[in-house]
Amino acid sequence: MKTRVISAIVALAIVIPLFLLGGIPFAVGVGMVSALAYKEIVELKESHNSYNLFTKIIGFIAYELLVFNGLKVSYIYTGVSYGIIGICILLLIIPAIFDEKGKYTTKEAFNLLGTITVIGLFFNLLILLCRADKWLLLYLILIAILTDTFAMIIGCLIGKHKLIPKVSPKKSVEGSIAGSLVGTIVASLYYYNIITSNINIFALIVMTLFLSILGQLGDLFFSKIKRENDIKDFSNIMPGHGGILDRLDSLSFIVYGYIIIINIVKLFI
């Protein structure tokens, strides 16, 4: 427990100043964190074959191109470039043509391409969201933290019915419901009082609840990856907490969900 608390304090001491500074310092920080997440991805043993050094390098280049794509655009939701995506696709697929040892097959190429796209674009959105409105990003972070924290606390206290035991044995239905309730109420209050009150409160609550549920699905998805790879954590970069993907699993789904909602809303305004 002591190790877990110390790790959290150290992480917050690094993250909070970068978040408040925003801009380039935040982008650089996200870039460094994304590099650690990439290491966790390529070191999974059961999801794919062991990548050779060349594959890891081209994968990392494509990955960081996605992470830092579109930083000069004036509007957050137009940040992704088809040109960059095309480069990433070709960088990762063409080498499979010349594989003679069966190490980097077309299956491995698609696996790596899909993985770095999902994770890379998530980190890209973190940078763009902070650049557009850091307090909006904090709203999404609050949903993830509050939902995860109270789902764990209430689950430990009164959880009796397992949620999906084959994926995550410790998660309970009671914890899941409590986590979403607390996450929805507190994050909605934050949004209404700090970001803007010019919003339909019912729509805000529905959106926040939806994102909270998505966050739990993200947690379960990454838990399934760990179970399929027979590992407890993606790494031990944060003692007591696990790796980068262990901490950002639910937030990734929340960020993608928010972007989807905003783009749907844009169709009607």
Determine the average pLDDT of the residues in 113-138: 92
Query: Which of 21-25, 186-190, 227-231 reaches the highest mean pLDDT?
Result: 186-190
- Taking the domains of the chain in order of start, what are their residue ranges? 2-266
The yes-or-no verdict on residue 182 having pLDDT over 90 is: yes
Instruction: Name the DSSP letter for residue 21.
Output: H
Model pLDDT, residue 1: 58
The yes-or-no verdict on residue 240 having pLDDT over 90 is: no
Task: Please check whether residue 154 is in contact with residue 179, taking contact to mean a CB–CB distance below 8 angstroms.
Answer: yes
Dist. CA 31–CA 112, nearest whole Å: 19
Model pLDDT, residue 74: 47
Q: Is 158 exposed, middle or buried (0-12, 13-18, 19+ CB in 10 A)?
A: exposed
The yes-or-no verdict on residue 148 having pLDDT over 70 is: yes
CA-CA-CA-CA dihedral for 225, 229, 232, 235, to nearest 10: -90
Q: Each residue of 48-88: pLDDT tens digit?
A: 667 888 889 999 999 999 998 876 654 555 557 788 889 99
Confidence of residue 222 (pLDDT cuts 50, 70, 90): very high
Mean pLDDT in the chain? 88
Query: Which of 13-17, 122-126, 156-160 reaches the highest mean pLDDT?
Result: 122-126
Q: Cβ contacts of residue 198 below 8 Å, gap of 6+?
A: none
Task: Please check whether residue 260 is in contact with residue 210, taking contact to mean a CB–CB distance below 8 angstroms.
Answer: no
Determine the average pLDDT of the residues in 97-104: 83
Model pLDDT, residue 252: 96
The yes-or-no verdict on residue 191 having pLDDT over 60 is: yes
Q: How many CB atoms lie within 10 A of CB 86?
A: 10
More confident position, 185 or 108: 185
Determine the average pLDDT of the residues in 143-171: 88
